[in-house]
DNA sequence: AACTTTGGCGTATTGA
DNA sequence: TCAATACGCCAA
């Protein structure tokens, strides 16, 4: 039996170059064959030399399948198809996925994460004038390239600050990568900084970016990644036969659900993930000190670079295994797994079934808008004896209960696949606890986490117009049953004299003095109203809960506070207001005796006196478009203006789409009254320059608004107390 | 160039 | 000054 696939690349001729693990951990190259294929729609398609077309079973729109003998025959035929104006052709891209699907191969099959051959890469750069690094400038330089492979660091250092030496350095990088032959190249902000910078310097010195396997050069193109509600632009880099992992992007994807990070820089992220625990555990260097340290204190410079590599590895240790495990299930490259949404991956699994069954495929259906989950806030105020119950995996469970495949899924792949993934997940969840070695447990943990994400995305897949086997009516039926079920639970809890506080989609917060110490008894009673296969769980008990509005509340968990909702915990809120709200909540939950009134007064004084740091006042917002694009749009009379975008225009270098910008407001002047007209980057504030001073009136007004909103909770007599209310 | 869903809160901009 | 609306961020 041959070793696990660790690298894969389809060349222009259609040859599939593979790299496999061999005994002892080495890698060996091999070649395989791809028979390129495409699905054909209803139109007329020209014949092609070396291209065969067959009819498929079933009713779907793509009722024929074309296979070509070679990639060149395929490309020639595609050009003819295009010239003939034929439409309705579907080609799986990239070709690496096509081959994996066609042969049912998977990357890293049965390879433990510990045997993945990983390499971290980080560069340090310098500019002669000490300004921001800019690879386009002649006398900017790569000072050093750090590579860390198998835990061992190797430093390639610029020998002299000359073009010759830099050229040599880039050539040494090529040689080092060829020698180390890693499966992955990992770095923090690798796409936007390191690789892009190296590309520009290599171009200047006419050195090929031969960082790929099989002696291949890197390929660059502009790409875009959706991170929750925003898009992030980045210059994508693909290395034939290798995987480029940018932990900067992985961190942002992680933070979609965690939403805890305030910045995505390596140092902060490493502390957040516990890779670096103490400030003195690593060497820190300010950005503008790097070049000087390179010249004056080489040891310190290299220690800094080595720490960056170590931290990058540590962050990837946490974030990469999920994707590594995905690749064992889906016919995608590891890099694709990190840069693609779940729909594309699920679609590929479907297509693999349909391909091998020679079954016609549908076009993605239109999905009409449909109703979602049930959400309601029942009471406002502070309550004690709080319990939280939720339904385990509500939507996947309902899908399995309904046992209904999407309308277009003639082969009936959907439900069996979901069932299989859930069984796998449960098995790995068990193994994550019981496997004999720590490595195996970590492996199982990554696998079960990866499956959990996939399982949960099946419902979203149904409701997405771009999903080939989407079915809006089935998605609507799932949410309808979900609402029905939650209502039943609410009634069951109410029948036990619980005060329902907040319900959202699959969970309920309630107050019950009687059951607070015995949640199991209540659980057992409520669970009776649920059908078999739907499991209710006791998710938590809390001493107190402050209910504000729907999806916005705070819980007291021992001495800690758990905040939920954009009104309370959004990272866009000005820090001084967020902290004020934090104090209010601690007071309301009985953790602080002092009311926030005194702090409110102190803030008023500090703001009026111009003493509050601008970092406390600044609002922060992610840019939804590139500043250049915004500028053009506005020049054409576009709308609306946005304060954060206006602040971004004043920054140098300009931040890019997806990056977060902090801004504050300067006083109103003639014709300059709107926020967007008086927004300034927080970084432009300078205490010693009065013309950069902030507008106290604007911030005092925000305090007034805050007091109007929240004052009722702490310094006005509360309205008639509801059942179970505290204080 | 790429895309999982709906529901909800709060703020700024816009245009009258 | 005020409403409608667009947007950012978050819950699940």
CATH number at residue A312: 3.30.420.10
Q: Which of A151, A178, A317, A158 has the alpha carbon at shortest distance from A250? A: A317
Residue A574's nearest nucleotide, by CA–C1', is: B11
Residue nearest to nucleotide B2 (CA to C1'): A224
Residue A726 maps to a domain: no
**Shared-domain flag, residues A524 and A578:** no
CA–CA separation, A653 and A626 (whole Å): 12
Give the structural domain span for A287.
113-326
**Shared-domain flag, residues A102 and A117:** no
Residue A70 maps to a domain: yes
**Shared-domain flag, residues A547 and A621:** no
Torsion angles phi and psi, residue A154, rounded to 5: -130, 130
**Shared-domain flag, residues A561 and A419:** no
**Shared-domain flag, residues A547 and A604:** no
> What are the angstrom distances between the C-alpha of A589 and each of A294, A323, A554, A561, A719?
52, 40, 8, 8, 18
Residue A727 maps to a domain: no
- Given this model, what pLDDT does residue A693 score? 93
Alpha helices in A403-549 (DSSP H): 414-434, 438-462, 472-495, 519-527
Q: How far is the CA of A508 from the C1' of C2 (A)?
A: 38
**Strand C footprint nucleotides (protein C-beta < 7 Å):** 6-12
Residue nearest to nucleotide B14 (CA to C1'): A640
- Given this model, what pLDDT does residue A726 score? 42
Strand C contact at CB of residue A624, distance < 7 A: yes
Over residues A652-677, the pLDDT tens digits come to 889 988 889 999 999 998 888 999 99
Residue A343's nearest nucleotide, by CA–C1', is: B4
Q: How far is the CA of A220 from the C1' of B6 (A)?
A: 37
Strand C contact at CB of residue A259, distance < 7 A: yes
Pick from A535, A569, A603: which residue ends a domain?
Answer: A569
Residue ranges for chain A with pLDDT beneath 50 = 716-727
**Shared-domain flag, residues A314 and A335:** no
If DSSP codes are grouped into helix, strand and coil, which group holds residue A419?
helix
**Shared-domain flag, residues A289 and A305:** yes
- Given this model, what pLDDT does residue A721 score? 38
**Shared-domain flag, residues A488 and A576:** no
**Shared-domain flag, residues A283 and A162:** yes
CA–CA separation, A629 and A621 (whole Å): 17
User: Tokens representing A242?
Assistant: 């290798």
CA–CA separation, A141 and A204 (whole Å): 11
What is the CB neighbour count within 10 angstroms for residue A649?
A: 16
**Shared-domain flag, residues A120 and A268:** yes
Q: CATH number for the domain including A662?
A: 1.10.132.60
Over residues A246-259, the pLDDT tens digits come to 999 999 999 888 88
Residue A388 maps to a domain: yes
Q: How far is the CA of A669 from the C1' of B12 (A)?
A: 18
Domain count, chain A: 5
Q: How far is the CA of A408 from the C1' of B16 (A)?
A: 50
Residue A401 maps to a domain: no
What is the CB neighbour count within 10 angstroms for residue A11?
A: 15
Q: Considering only residues 153-192 of chain A, list those whose CB is below 7 Å from strand C.
A: none
**Shared-domain flag, residues A244 and A298:** yes
Pick from A326, A353, A373: which residue ends a domain?
Answer: A326
- Sheet containing A140-149: order of strands: A152-157, A140-149, A118-127, A184-187, A243-246
Pick from A326, A355, A385: which residue ends a domain?
Answer: A326
Residue A442 maps to a domain: yes
Strand C contact at CB of residue A460, distance < 7 A: no
Residue A428 maps to a domain: yes
**Strand B footprint nucleotides (protein C-beta < 7 Å):** 1-15
Residue nearest to nucleotide B11 (CA to C1'): A573
**Shared-domain flag, residues A314 and A198:** yes
Residue A356 maps to a domain: yes
CA–CA separation, A661 and A714 (whole Å): 33
């Amino acid at each position: 039996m041959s070793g696990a696939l660790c690298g894969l690349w389809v060349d222009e001729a259609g040859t599939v170059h593979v790299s496999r693990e061999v005994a002892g951990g080495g890698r060996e190259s091999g070649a395989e064959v791809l028979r390129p294929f495409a699905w054909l729609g209803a139109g007329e398609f020209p014949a092609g030399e070396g291209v065969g077309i067959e009819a498929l079973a079933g009713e779907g729109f793509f009722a024929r399948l074309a296979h070509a003998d070679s990639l060149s025959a395929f490309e020639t035929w595609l050009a003819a198809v295009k010239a003939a104006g034929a439409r309705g052709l579907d080609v799986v891209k990239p070709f690496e996925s096509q081959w994996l699907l066609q042969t049912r191969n998977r990357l890293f099959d049965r390879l433990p994460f510990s045997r993945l051959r990983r390499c971290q890469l980080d560069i340090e750069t310098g500019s002669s004038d000490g300004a921001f690094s800019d690879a386009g400038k002649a006398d900017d330089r790569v000072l050093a390239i750090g590579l860390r492979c198998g835990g061992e660091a190797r430093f390639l250092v610029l020998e002299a600050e000359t073009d010759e030496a830099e050229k040599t350095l880039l050539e040494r990088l090529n040689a080092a990568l060829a020698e180390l032959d890693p499966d992955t190249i990992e770095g923090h902000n690798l796409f936007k900084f390191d690789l892009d910078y190296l590309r520009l310097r290599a171009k200047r010195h006419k050195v090929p970016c031969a960082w790929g396997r099989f002696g291949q050069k890197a390929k660059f193109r502009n790409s875009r990644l959706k991170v929750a509600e925003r898009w992030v632009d980045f210059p994508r880099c693909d290395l034939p036969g290798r995987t480029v992992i940018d932990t900067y992007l992985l961190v942002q994807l992680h933070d979609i659900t965690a939403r805890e990070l305030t910045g995505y820089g390596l140092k902060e992220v490493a502390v957040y993930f516990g890779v670096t625990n103490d400030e003195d555990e690593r060497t820190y260097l300010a950005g503008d000190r790097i070049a000087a340290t390179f010249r004056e204190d080489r040891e310190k410079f290299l220690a800094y670079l080595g720490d960056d590599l170590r931290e990058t590895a540590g962050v990837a240790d946490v974030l990469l295994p999920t994707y590594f495990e995905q690749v064992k299930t889906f016919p995608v490259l590891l890099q694709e797994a990190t840069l693609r949404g779940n729909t594309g991956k699920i679609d590929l699994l479907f297509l693999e079934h349909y391909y091998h069954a020679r079954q016609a495929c549908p076009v993605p259906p239109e999905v009409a808008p449909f109703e979602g989950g049930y959400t309601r806030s029942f009471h406002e105020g502070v309550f004690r004896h709080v319990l939280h119950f939720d339904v385990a995996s509500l939507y996947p469970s309902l899908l399995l209960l309904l046992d209904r495949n999407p309308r277009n899924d003639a082969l009936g792949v959907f439900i069996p696949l979901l069932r299989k993934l859930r069984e796998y997940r449960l098995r790995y969840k068990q193994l994550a606890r019981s496997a004999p070695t720590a490595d195996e447990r970590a492996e199982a943990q990554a696998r079960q986490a990866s499956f959990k994400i996939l399982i949960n995305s099946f419902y979203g897949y149904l409701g997405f117009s771009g999903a080939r086997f989407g079915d809006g009516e089935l998605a609507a039926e799932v949410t309808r049953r979900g609402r029905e079920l939650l209502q039943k639970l609410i009634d069951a809890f109410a029948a036990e004299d619980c005060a329902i506080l907040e319900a959202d989609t699959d969970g309920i917060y309630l107050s019950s003095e009687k059951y607070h110490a015995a949640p199991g008894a209540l659980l057992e009673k409520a669970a009776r109203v649920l059908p078999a296969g739907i499991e209710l769980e006791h998710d938590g008990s809390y001493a107190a809960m402050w209910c504000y509005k729907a999806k916005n509340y705070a819980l007291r968990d021992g001495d800690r506070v758990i905040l939920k909702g954009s009104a309370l915990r959004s990272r866009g809120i000005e820090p001084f207001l967020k902290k004020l709200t934090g104090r209010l909540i601690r007071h309301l939950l009985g953790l602080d005796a002092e009311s926030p009134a005194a702090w409110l007064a102190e803030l008023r004084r500090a703001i009026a006196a111009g003493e509050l740091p601008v970092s406390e006042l600044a609002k922060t917002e992610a840019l939804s478009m590139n500043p250049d694009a915004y500028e053009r749009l506005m020049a054409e009379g576009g709308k609306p203006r946005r304060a954060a975008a206006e602040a971004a225009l004043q920054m140098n270098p300009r931040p890019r789409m997806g990056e977060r910008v902090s801004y504050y407001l300067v006083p109103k002047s003639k014709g300059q009254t709107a926020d967007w007209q008086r927004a300034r980057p927080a970084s432009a504030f300078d205490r010693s320059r009065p013309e950069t001073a902030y507008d106290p009136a604007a911030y005092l007004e925000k305090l007034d608004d805050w007091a109007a909103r929240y004052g009722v909770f702490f310094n006005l007599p509360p309205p008639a107390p509801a059942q179970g209310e505290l204080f």
